[in-house]
C-alpha cells in the first residue's frame, strides 16, 4: 500500500527565509506526486504536481518541488517566503495500483512571522 510521510509537523520562520518541506512516499512503482496548500479557512488548492519528465517542478506562488526517485522524495521549496505563505501544506501521492486514489501525508503547518 502506498503511504506518504511528512517529517515536519510545524515550521516557524521569518519572512524572506527559505522554506523546504520534506515528503517521502513508499511505493515502488510509478507515482504521481502533488503538493496541496490549505490557507486558513480555505479549501485545499493545488500548488504543483509531478507526473513525468523534468524532476524539478515549478508551481504557483514561487514554489517548486524536486522528485528524487532514488530517495522516494518530493520535497517542496520556496527561496523566500512571505507572511501570506502561512498555511498548511500537504504532500499527496497517487498510483494506478491504488485505483487512482490520493493518499495524503500528515501535513505541515507553516507559520511565517512578519
Partner 1 sequence: GAVVSQHPSWVICKSGTSVKIECRSLDFQATTMFWYRQFPKQSLMLMATSNEGSKATYEQGVEKDKFLINHASLTLSTLTVTSAHPEDSSFYICSARDTLAPLPAFFGQGTRLTVV
Scanning 13-21, 61-69, 77-85, 96-104 for contacts with partner 1 by CB under 8 A, the matching segment is 96-104
User: From the list 7, 58, 101, 113, which residue makes contact with partner 1 (rule: CB under 8 A)?
Assistant: 101
Binding flags for partner 1, 23-62, as an x/- string (CB under 8 A) = ---------x-x-x-----xxxxx--x-x-----------
3-state helix/strand/coil string of the chain: CCEEECCCCEEEEECCCCEEECCEEECCCCCEEEEEEECCCCCEEEEEEECCCCCEEECHHHCEEEEEHHHCEEEEEECCCCHHHCEEEEEEEECCCCCCCEEECCCEEEEEEC
Q: How far is the CB of 92 from partner 1 (least distance, A)?
A: 8
Positions in the binding site for partner 1 (CB under 8 A) = 32, 34, 36, 42-46, 49, 51, 90, 94, 99-107
Amino acid at each position: 500500500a502506498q503511504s506518504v510521510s511528512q517529517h515536519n509537523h510545524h515550521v516557524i520562520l521569518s519572512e524572506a527565509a527559505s522554506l523546504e518541506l520534506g515528503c517521502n512516499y513508499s511505493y515502488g512503482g510509478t507515482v504521481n506526486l502533488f503538493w496541496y496548500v490549505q490557507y486558513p479557512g480555505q479549501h485545499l488548492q493545488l500548488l504543483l504536481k509531478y507526473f513525468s519528465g523534468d524532476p524539478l517542478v515549478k508551481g504557483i506562488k514561487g514554489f517548486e518541488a524536486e522528485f528524487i526517485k532514488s530517495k522516494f522524495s518530493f520535497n517542496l521549496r520556496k527561496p523566500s517566503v512571505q507572511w501570506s505563505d502561512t498555511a498548511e501544506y500537504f504532500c499527496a501521492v497517487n498510483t494506478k495500483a491504488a485505483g487512482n486514489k490520493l493518499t495524503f501525508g500528515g501535513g505541515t503547518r507553516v507559520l511565517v512571522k512578519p
